[in-house]
Amino acid sequence: MKLFRILFGFDALALLVLIYFFIDGLRYASGSDYMGAWAPLLLVPIAVLTLAWVLKGKGSLVAANVLLGLLAAPFLLYGLFVGLFVVLAPDMR
């Protein structure tokens, strides 16, 4: 149960970051291509969070955790990548 809450919170935070970049990009959007590009980027995490919530409600906590873990993996790996740049402070000349 605790793992579900951690993964759900992490995925919800990642979705909020995506929503922030979507809203920020609306200032520079010049056509309908913007919505077409962002629709899957926003709808897939929303669908995964909803499906995980439904699976948890039906008692399939393991499947919900696996689903949330699959969504969390790219965001976690990107966070580790950025963290390496912060910690190692490479000289990019």
Closest CA to 55 of 77, 70, 40: 70
pTM over 0.95: no
pLDDT bracket for residue 17 (50, 70, 90): very high
Other residues' Cβ atoms within 10 Å of the Cβ of residue 10: 17
Name the phi and psi angles at 58, rounded to 5. Answer: -85, 0
The string of pLDDT tens digits covering residues 33-86 is: 888 899 999 999 999 999 999 999 999 999 999 999 999 999 899 999 999 999
